[in-house]
Chains A and B, each alone.
Chain A
Amino acid sequence: MKDNFRQSMKWFHTWVGLVVGWILFFMFLTGSLGYFYQEITRWMEPERPFVVQQISTEELLDTAQIYLEKHAEGADGWDIMLPNIRDQNLRVGWRHPAEPGKKRGKYKIKVLDVNTGDKVERRATGGGRLLYRMHYRLHYLSTNISYWIVGFCSMLMLLAVITGVVIHKKIFTDFFTFRAKKGLPGWLDIHNVLSVIALPFHFMITYSGLLFFLFTYMVLSTNLQTNEDEYREMRKEIYPRTVHLDKTNQAAKMLDISFLYQQAKTTWQASELSYVEMFAANDVNAHALFVRHETDITYNPDDEITVNAVTGEIILSKHKQYTVAAMIHNGFFSLHEGQFSGPVARWVYFFTGLIGSAMIASGLILWTTKRKPKQMKKTNGPDFGYRLVEQLNIGTIVGLPIAIAMYFYANRLLPLDMANRINWEANVMFISWAILLIYPMFRPAAKAWYEQLQLATLVYIGLPLVNALTTDKHLFNSLNKQDWNLAGFDLTLLLVGGCFAFAAYKFKTLQISKRANNDREIEKQTNRPVQVANESLLPLQQVNKEKC
């Protein structure tokens, strides 16, 4: 290998980053969207009603209970998800009794219209959940294979983060250094800045990501060190046991859930109920579990209150039994998913995720930028490897965001009664991505970058318009109804479109000034003026004026 430690680390960082860079970019981007998966699902089900302001929790619980009594008879348990800042509709869920030969029954979830108390007929869609599940459960591959691929990439990412710190020579003196220069120094600064400012996040997200499928990756170690009983014991310690309350099959009259809630909430300071779980409904053994928004990353026993639904007394023993191992494990999960975060913190999570994606993208671009001068001098043109990397860069860094927009387009435009509609939403996304990966093969790199940036602008700005043409949940209505959840989605799309437009504009002006610089060089060497087309001179003059 290379002569000294830092050099070999640099070599390692470069190639590890390159090999898994594109999958990591995919994982980071879809994962960042996962912080808003509930919001995305709500947007993708435009049949759901707008937010209804000023309705008390008790009224909502009553509406849910009436619906469940009527429709979820015979179910073991009920769930009532109250409207919150992330999903402003009332939702109820229940699990059907298991069919013979199966371990668990089917789980059904319904969105209720609080005005009518009835369910909302929604279109078939994968929603935000399908999109964020892709970041660890690669869509077309089998579960086991995706976990292994994801684990392999995450492990290399962890190594890239560590080696990155080793090879960064001046991590503290260059902490704030970002020189907006063209070419290599500029990209190196961007890569360094994006890595360093969010280093705690990058490390946390990669490390905790690896913990998710602990028993898949560490299978050898657990197999060698434990027998079956010990293994079961270990799993029990890590995954907290839920106290299960079975039906006794003796019917009993339950108290109203809203009444039970009034009993329960006296120990909480404010009305912060997140969801209610009902065990053994309409049975002697009926219990209601009230859960509020998380107030601790690991586990706060006070976030849950169990009430006997027949007598109305508060049960003091806790619903879940947490060991220390389980609390640490849960803590890492919660950190990874940001379950505890309020609205602002969620945006910070999302934004830091995007910083991570941008860091990976800048690393990939750095690879080509560094090799470009040498490759361009080759008589037969650049090598195949170089061209492939450039092509994959264009197709992924700009192509993937376009493909994600296509997923949203598919949601709005595919026929509502289509068979396999959910699958086709995802198919549209991956087909678009495949086209955008192949497209740069047939175009010069600079043109392909510019064209795909333009396309990205177009699709993102067009999306709120298509939304307005196909549904009544468009920006005008959502702003009017003060439904910030839906309005926020459309506004974010417009903002992303704006960013792509800016990137396209910048790219063009830089290309033109670069060409002009080249011409000036030739003029110097040959003492002969080079003709420049008028249209390319015009923006150049503007740029010069700005500089003055």
Chain B
Amino acid sequence: MLVLTSLSFSIMVLFCLAMTKHREQVLESEVSMLAVRFFRPFAWLLLLFTGYLSVDMYGWSIGPALLFGALTIATLLLILLLTYRAKIVPELAIVLSLIASMSIFIA
């Protein structure tokens, strides 16, 4: 569940960075448009992977249900951070996805 939430957070950060108004909120330096164009497809890929992972971990019925829960919590966290602590969003996304991938490899 925590792995799913961490990955969901990274997915949502990618989706949000694909939008100009949020990118300005979060990032101080300009990112090349080429990189930005990859954010959204990458987010979808990661979402597919997380969906696969949830089914792999919890079975075809419980997995997707937990994924929706994870997405809800992750999005709420991201929205609150965007409003009150926008600058730490990229760092947190990187740290959380590192923790998630580490726990996948360990388990």
Contact = CB atoms under 8 A, between A and B. Distances in A.
A326 to B, nearest CB: 15
Nearest to A197: B75
Most buried by A among B22, B62, B75: B62
B53 to A, nearest CB: 15
Contacts of B102: none
A180 B80 CA distance: 10
A180 B59 CA distance: 39
Interface string A170-181: 000101101110
B19 A296 contact: no
B37 to A, nearest CB: 17
Contacts of A487: none
Nearest to A173: B19
B82 A178 contact: yes
User: What's the interface size class on B, roughly?
Assistant: 20 to 34
A533 interface: no
B61 A331 contact: yes
Contacts of B73: 348, 351-352
Given A176-B79, A180-B84, A296-B62, A345 B72 contact: no
Contacts of A341: 66
B65 A297 contact: yes
B17 to A, nearest CB: 10
A: contact size bracket: 20 to 34
A331 B70 CA distance: 20
A201 B19 contact: no
Interface string A517-541: 0000000000000000000000000
Contact of A296 (B22, B61, B75, B82): B61
B41 interface: no
B2 A344 contact: yes
B59 A197 contact: no
B72 A178 contact: no
A200 B83 CA distance: 24
B40 to A, nearest CB: 11
A197 B79 contact: yes
Contact of A201 (B1, B22, B68, B78): B68
Contact of A355 (B22, B76, B82): B76
A176 B19 contact: yes
Interface string A323-356: 0000000010001000011101100110110010
B93 interface: no
A65 interface: no
A173 B22 CA distance: 10
A516 interface: no
Contact of B59 (A175, A179, A295, A345): A295
Contacts of B2: 344
A472 B51 CA distance: 46
A355 B73 CA distance: 10
Contacts of B19: 173, 176
A241 B65 CA distance: 27
Contact of A197 (B15, B72, B83): B72
Interface in A154-201: 173, 175-176, 178-180, 193, 197-198, 200-201
A352 B68 CA distance: 10
The 3 closest A-B pairs by CB, nearest first: A297-B61, A348-B69, A344-B1
14 contacts: A173-B19, A176-B12, A178-B82, A180-B83, A197-B76, A201-B72, A295-B62, A340-B62, A340-B65, A344-B2, A345-B66, A348-B70, A351-B73, A352-B72
Given A197-B71, A201-B68, 9 more contacts: A175-B15, A175-B75, A180-B84, A193-B79, A197-B79, A295-B62, A297-B62, A340-B65, A355-B76
